[in-house]
Chains A and B, each alone.
Chain A
Amino acid sequence: MGEIQKFQYDNKIVRNFLYASVIFGLVGMLVGLLLAFMFMFPKLTDGISWLSFGRLRPLHTNAVIFAFVGNAIFAGIYYSTQRLLKARMFSDLLSKINFWGWQLIIVAAAITLPLGITTSKEYAELEWPIDIAIALVWVVFGVNLIGTIIKRRQRHLYVAIWFYLATFITVAVLHIFNSLELPISAFKSYSVYAGVQDALVQWWYGHNAVAFFLTTPFLGLMYYFVPKAAERPIYSYRLSIVHFWSLIFIYIWAGPHHLLYSALPDWAQNLGVAFSIMLIAPSWGGMINGLLTLRGVWDKVRQSPILKFMVVAITGYGMATFEGPMLSLKNVNAIAHFSDWIIGHVHVGALAWNGMMTFAIVYWLVPKLFKTKLYSEALANFHFWIGTLGIVLYALPMYVAGFTQALMWKEFNPDGTLVYGNFLETVQQIMPMYWMRAIGGTLFLIGLIVLIYNIAKTILAGESVTDEAAEAPALEKVASKRTMGETFHQWLERKPVQLALLATVTILIGGAAQIIPTLVVESNIPTISSVKPYTPLELEGRDLYIREGCVGCHSQMIRPFRSEVERYGPYSKAGEFVYDHPFLWGSKRTGPDLLRVGGKYSDNWHFNHMYDPQSTSSGSIMPAYQWLITSKHDRSAIQDKMRAMVTLGVPYTDEDIANAFESMDAQAAKIEDNLHADPDFVRSYEDDKEYAKQAGVEFVPMKDREITAMIAYLQRLGTDIKVK
């Protein structure tokens, strides 16, 4: 045995991440609740562009995933890693950079997303300078983690550490490949991938962000904190080895199940389905391992709110990971996709698995960090019950809503017409479900507020231990090769570099097998000669569509079902999206699909609809976009944008680029002309002119306002191959 060394655990960094998680959790959930109420009251934030639904939705998802859950991950990892490795974190400075860098990124997200600065790719909405910051801070975290592993005093790496390592490696790979984009300016870039390829890379990322940000780090935390809270070792360490390797191997293949029945090549869809079904095995292996750790101590579960939170969290993990593979069966997916079922599904994962596990860790850690007892077990129990009730009240109505609406979308009359031809009828039908969901969300949030009160009281009563004394023998050197009687995995458990390399290879296999062929095999994306690049004005309009987050509620992907073809027009072909940087297929239909909305309504209809959606569509829950109609449109960057598109393979000629401004002017003037067909428009437009003259303010002609570009884009959608 080596000499006994004295050292200190860094508790301050754990405490900081814990505070950040709770505070940003409150913010993220408040934004979520506001969004939930906007379904009933679409005019709740009327006229305030930065509080509009489309811009707040990504703020909610980013805040909950990266701020609430992200900070909880760091808190749990920084606490458990130090103890499992019997070492202080590698560098206090790196810990600090990790903490403050991450919070700065969150603040940057909270500012840019409401301003409409977004790439529109789900959970990767942040623009390129923030993407670079994320990569840097993530590397700092990785260096700190690996540095700690290297200077450890515990020879073997516990399974939780493997999960943390795999998290670091995979998130880095995913983030970098999905964020490859060509900058136009400091706040605008275009994805280097187009259409189908962009969709595949995005959902390889999106799915694995769920896998390696919301799942693997939390499984690591489960393997540490559940045994600690239950005061007994994990049920089966062997099972945890199988769990780890099979989970990271299989997870990475399942991304295409987000694109079933889309224009993605069939072989990729089927591969995604097959691996999604297989995923049940490792997921449930992990769930069973977590739950069975509590065998024989169920009496403790009755008394300890912490263990209760953990049981609901692990059960939620089990439900979500059973539901996931079921949802990736094509026939189930045909019903669930684009509906509120998916919203229910993700919230079982987020509220139960991530939320309840985070709460358990907070209740367990705070008394430890402040050398005291929890202020009130009764309040923690109250939190548990109101939180659990909140999850049930959130999820169940969403399942009912999803089924109801999807079945209504598909219902035909005997004469072959749609029973609910008006999309709004299917929205009105599920309004009571939206009410219940908002109530469920409110209950969950009340629980969080109770937690904040409870831990604040605990903290005030305790005393902070920022550096906790510990001691352990130094690690003696052993042969780097396998020693006598040592099996391969025993050897691997003490070799972090080899373990990390193997994990990297494991996760790269699946990604490579799907993505490389889609990117390089031409026959996967048949070109369509009638599909032409967007005109400059349409391109600008498309950027407005991205800015306003329209993709959050409207898909642009008509699946090859009779019901969809009847409602929206010919189904989508891969070749239609070859100039779409980024793709805008969407993942949710709160409103109807827009792929072939071009030419369906008049320019005036779009104008009035954007100004006051309820005026053209009675009972609509779409918010108004008055600022599109009143704001002057800055189109000065169009030539840079077109040049960037040329770099990415869009065939604009030099002449197209040189004439961009004339072309935009002409197309916009035509739309302004069309708008004059409506006498109401003419009257209010003239009044507007008169007002500007009298008030002495600059009058912006309609053709120079944002709405004309938006109308140009909407009227273009799907017309390239539209059957007249």
Chain B
Amino acid sequence: MKKAIGMIGEILAIAFCCIWLFPLYIVIVNSFKNRQQLYENMLAPARSFSFEYFATAMRKMNLSVAFGNSLMVTVISIGIIIILASMTAWMLVRNNNRLSKTMFIIFVATMIIPFQTIMMPLMQVMGWIRDTLHLPMLNSLGGLIYMNVGFGASMAVFLYHGFIKSVPVSLEEAATIDGCNKFKVFWLIVFPILKPTTVTIAILDVIWIWNDYLLPSLVLSNKGLRTIPLSTASFFGQFTIEWNLAMAGLLLTIIPVILFYLAAQKYIIKGVAAGAIKL
């Protein structure tokens, strides 16, 4: 009897989760239908599987280019954030003087500033850099990466700072006595120890940068530079009425996320839990 109740509980739980993901079902089902089938019944599974709309959506959204851009921006931004933030946080912890403390407090305090407060002056500053120093800060992926690094710095430094504080100094001292300079000490001894935090930061930043819309929309205006959220938004600006095509396009943008999730599920859930800012 108890077993049966347990079984029912399990089934109910899974059923509820499936209902929770109902919107994804809607997307998948309707991406295979043609316009007429879609308006007949939006809840029913597709009767025929045609990949025609995927091909059309892919072409219209210029998805392969957008995917490449998104991938490049995400990977390079995160790489730079991890390298620079870990180095900074290490130095701030190991030289805990007044300057370091002030810098750390500034890093943490700025986390609360909403992006909307910075966006307009940021565009002015970047425009000024472009005009006077002739660096392509606007309308280039490099500029976007640069800004992502700036915005990701606070949280990464904060998380590394918290972790490094718990790493004993003795190992580093031993390496110093053995003749390592600071650079070697950091990269050979400290950085490998920081791996859990590195994974956390990478996961949190992937979720943020991959899905970020507002910053890229302000920085990038060339069609060829669009990231996935940008091409989705411009696609919806033009083809809102063709929902079957839109669903196919949305499904294509979701698939990489789901694949990433399936591949790194353990790390993602751990990373998200660890990255919840400890106050």
A binds B: no
Chain A residues in the interface with B (C-beta under 8 A): none
* Residues of chain B whose beta carbon lies under 8 Å from any beta carbon of chain A: none
